[in-house]
Amino acid sequence: MLGTTFILAIRSIRRHLLRSFLTILGIVIGVGAVVTMVTLGKATTSAVQQQISALGTNVLQIRPGQGFGRGGGGPRPPDFKPEDVEAIRRQVTGVTAVAPQAQATGTAIYEGSNWSTTINGTTSAYFQVQPWPLTAGRAFMPAEEAAGKAVCIIGNTVYTNLYRGGQAVGTRMRINGISCDVIGVLTTRGQQGFGGDQDDVVIMPIKAVQRRFTGNRDIRLMLVGVDSAFSTGTVQSGIEDLLRERRNITGGKQDDFNIFDTKQISDTLTGTTTMLTNIVAAVAAISLIVGGIGIMNIMLVSVTERTREIGIRLAIGAVASEVLLQFLVEAVVLSMLGGLIGLAIAQLAIAGITPLMKVPWTFDLQINLIAFAISAVIGVVFGFFPARRAAALNPIDALRHE
């Protein structure tokens, strides 16, 4: 009987294709919007986590100033010195490595091609704190670091714009008039939501950058690797106490430096994107309820139009439960059909939007199944009242209906 009822429901839908499509439009929009928003939200969260993980796990970033900027409108806080780096490495328990950084900007030139980029001076500890594999070449040698030799490792953006797929390792380019031997090429990291193009960089020994570009020994950023056996909070507290002492910050004075835990940044950004995704999905889900109301209204109209048909069925022996099942199945089929169309539209939308957002596209089976199941439930919930009304008709009154 269920199979026959299903066939009758399909025939009824086919007789009124336009009306059926308009009936399920709310379900189509609701399912499509919810699946699209949730999938894009998860993709964005995944992209954020990948970007943060590129900074390294169990890593602390130390900068002068309050927050990401100077803060307070007062004089600029002093930069760090090489002695601060050595003190943190030697005196704070749980520190595996400290990578100082001094930055400058310049124009790299090679055989007539030029590219404006960031010059990042650091040590080999940089690759220990936040692993960044090389596609070609090697990292700095201890002797090159100690002497401040003009050797460099270039990011993929610099490589693409200067060498255009050719051989880079072993060549010599110029940066602001300074000759630099290219000893390595970094793998691609891509865009970073809050930091721009991570591959647009030239990495050199910090002494070379300080001597040839910045002209001082100042350090604007320190990356501190934390042993996984230690709590980053404990290590951070130890660094704070040490830097306050070294920078003569006493009593209740505010720190003139800040320390960021990459894990905390990741958790904060992930929590924010998840919350926004849930809010947008909840708003989109309202259209599912609107679609359910539309199904109920059209089914009530259908009951009125088919009153004589219902009366004939009841008169020749059909029981009320069979009539109820017929209209309930029809409502569920309509709703499920809308769910399937909504899922298809959602996948097309996701495939088109993810390249624009530069986030990875993944098929989330769970959210698709949940959205489809909800569309079926809506058909049951909103189709029950019209079906019950049809089943409760008096056969005699139904046969007299014009």
DSSP sequence for 135-198: EEE----HHHHHHT--EEEE-HHHHHHHHTTS--TT-EEEETTEEEEEEEEEPP--EETTTEET
The mean pLDDT value for 224-242 works out to: 90
Q: 325: which 2 tokens?
A: 């099942």
Exposure b/e, 67-79, CB count within 10 A at least 16 = b = eeeeeeeeeebeb
**pLDDT of the residue at 262:** 74
pLDDT tier, 84 (very low <50, low <70, confident <90, very high otherwise):
very high
- Percent of the chain clearing pLDDT 90 (strictly above): 31
pLDDT tier, 70 (very low <50, low <70, confident <90, very high otherwise):
very low
- Percent of the chain clearing pLDDT 70 (strictly above): 86
Statement: the pTM of the whole predicted model exceeds 0.85: no
Long-range contacts of 344-352 (CB under 8 A, 24+ apart): 345/28, 345/32, 346/31, 346/32, 346/33, 346/35, 346/36, 346/39, 347/35, 349/32, 349/36, 350/35, 350/36, 350/39, 350/40
**pLDDT of the residue at 98:** 93
The mean pLDDT value for 248-255 works out to: 85
Q: Summarize pLDDT for 85-97 with one digit per residue, the tens.
A: 999 999 999 999 9
Q: Summarize pLDDT for 329-376 with one digit per residue, the tens.
A: 888 888 888 889 999 999 999 888 888 887 777 788 888 888 888 888
Q: Summarize pLDDT for 190-208 with one digit per residue, the tens.
A: 766 545 688 899 999 999 9
Q: How many CB atoms neighbour CB 3 within 10 A?
A: 7
Q: At what angle do helices 82-91 and 232-246 cross, to 10 degrees?
A: 140
The mean pLDDT value for 99-119 works out to: 92
For residue 39, pLDDT over 90 is answered with: no
Report d(CA 190, CA 157) in Å as an integer.
9
